[in-house]
């Protein structure tokens, strides 16, 4: 039964969730908020939705680029290099991004007569992104449930998983991760040095996947 909207970036995590939950997904929603890498991600989001026959919607959030402060919105040179565990990675936070996207997706779900909104946050996100934490997911789900007539809930099945766990699921599903985008710099190739590139490399290696990503380095 098609009962869900999914927030689909076009990265490894949300693409894996798209394939894993495809039988339940009525609509995939991508958001263009003006980040360095949005265009690269969204192209892959559209590709996978076409392949699976899932309806796709693109929503522009231009105000975030105009009013929010984040290195993801300030050009490739502003994005720090290193590991997510490094303190400088906090500059990549886009304030309350997931809260805004979940709110919009919830309104769409209610308008479409659907029951759930899916997101693909994971355990590695918690330390740096407050709007990926288990506490946030629980609170948002309570809010969407209370604030909609059908009692729409947030489904975030990867919240306690590592990115390597997700990559293993993708491997079992036969997903070609060369058709996903992670790099925060958004160049022609993955830079291989920013936090999300480093995390991508580590996850592939731990999952036993021959990394198909083309890196600048």
Of 131, 157, 116, 174, nearest to 17 by C-alpha is: 157
| Per-residue pLDDT tens over the stretch 90-106 | 889 999 999 999 999 99
Position 213 pLDDT exceeds 80: yes
Q: Which domain holds residue 18?
A: 4-207
Position 3 pLDDT exceeds 70: yes
In a domain, 11, yes or no: yes
Residue 70: predicted pLDDT: 94
Q: Residue 81 — very low, low, confident or very high, per pLDDT cuts 50/70/90?
A: confident
Residue 90: predicted pLDDT: 86
Which positions make up the binding site for Zn(2+)?
183, 191, 194, 197
Which positions make up the binding site?
8-18, 183, 191, 194, 197
- The Cα 149–Cα 142 span in angstroms is 13
Average pLDDT on 13-34 reads 98
- The Cα 124–Cα 135 span in angstroms is 15
The domain that holds 87 is classified in CATH as: 3.40.50.620
Name the residue with tokens 């997911």: 137
In a domain, 214, yes or no: no
C-alpha distances (whole Å) from 217 to each of 36, 71, 200 are 19, 22, 14
Position 88 pLDDT exceeds 90: no
Computed over every residue of the chain, the mean pLDDT equals 94
Which positions make up the binding site for ATP?
8-18
In a domain, 170, yes or no: yes
Average pLDDT on 121-129 reads 82
* Number of domains into which the chain is organized: 1
């Amino acid at each position: 039964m098609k009962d869900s909207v999914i927030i689909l970036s076009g990265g490894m995590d949300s693409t894996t969730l798209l394939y894993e939950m495809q039988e339940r997904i009525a609509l995939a929603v991508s958001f263009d908020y003006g980040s360095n890498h949005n265009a690269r991600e969204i192209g892959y989001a559209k590709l996978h939705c076409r392949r699976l026959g899932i309806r796709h919607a693109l929503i522009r959030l231009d105000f975030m680029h105009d009013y929010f402060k984040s290195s993801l919105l300030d050009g490739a040179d502003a994005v720090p290099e290193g590991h997510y565990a490094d303190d400088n990675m906090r500059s990549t936070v886009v304030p309350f991004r997931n809260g805004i996207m979940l709110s919009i997706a919830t309104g769409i779900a209610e308008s479409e007569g659907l029951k759930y909104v899916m997101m693909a946050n994971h355990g590695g996100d918690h330390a740096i992104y407050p709007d990926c934490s288990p506490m946030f997911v629980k609170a948002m789900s309570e809010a969407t449930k209370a604030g909609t007539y059908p009692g729409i809930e947030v489904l975030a099945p990867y919240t306690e998983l590592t990115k390597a766990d997700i990559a293993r699921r993708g491997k079992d599903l036969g997903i070609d991760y060369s058709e996903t985008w992670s790099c925060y710099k958004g160049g022609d190739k993955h830079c291989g040095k920013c936090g999300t590139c480093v995390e991508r490399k580590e996850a592939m290696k731990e999952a036993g996947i021959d990394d198909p990503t083309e890196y600048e380095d």
